[in-house]
Amino acid sequence: MPKIFTYRGKTAEELAALDITALIALMPSRTRRHIKRGYTEQEKKLFKKIQAAKAGKYKKSVETHCREFPILPIMFGMEIKVYNGKEFIPVAVVPEMIGYRLGDFAYTIKEVKHGGPGIGATRGSKFLSVK
């Protein structure tokens, strides 16, 4: 039997049915304060795009620079492209992500992978152990 997802005692369907005041009571303090203080103009545009995409009126994929936007139940099942400073990284939103930010899933740095020494390298650096 698969495990049913719950967030603070509520299933994903119950979370989606909650109004915003009941939802923010369940959120962590940072997310709760962010929603209570109101969104910036850019975040308001993103929220309207998300609502339109959920209703089927917005055909393109939703792209955003708002890395600090909290993940809400209205986003479940969507793919939102988040800017990481160079390109838009697709983020598939699932119920387990609630309470996090969009930027938490679009990393801004890559793992450093060093290659072999180049032309003009010193004699000592030519014998690097490559794993």
Number of domains present in the structure of the chain? 1
Range of the domain at 73: 6-109
Per DSSP bridges, beta strands 79-83 and 62-64 are parallel
Per the domain annotation, does 28 fall within a domain? yes
Question: Which secondary structure element, helix H or strand E, spans residue 10, and what is its range?
Answer: strand 10-11
- Asked whether the predicted pLDDT for residue 54 surpasses 70, the reply is yes
Per the domain annotation, does 64 fall within a domain? yes
Per the domain annotation, does 27 fall within a domain? yes
pLDDT in tens, 68-109: 999 999 999 999 999 999 999 999 999 999 989 999 999 999
Nearest CA to 58 among 72, 78, 76, 38?
Answer: 78
pTM value > 0.85: no
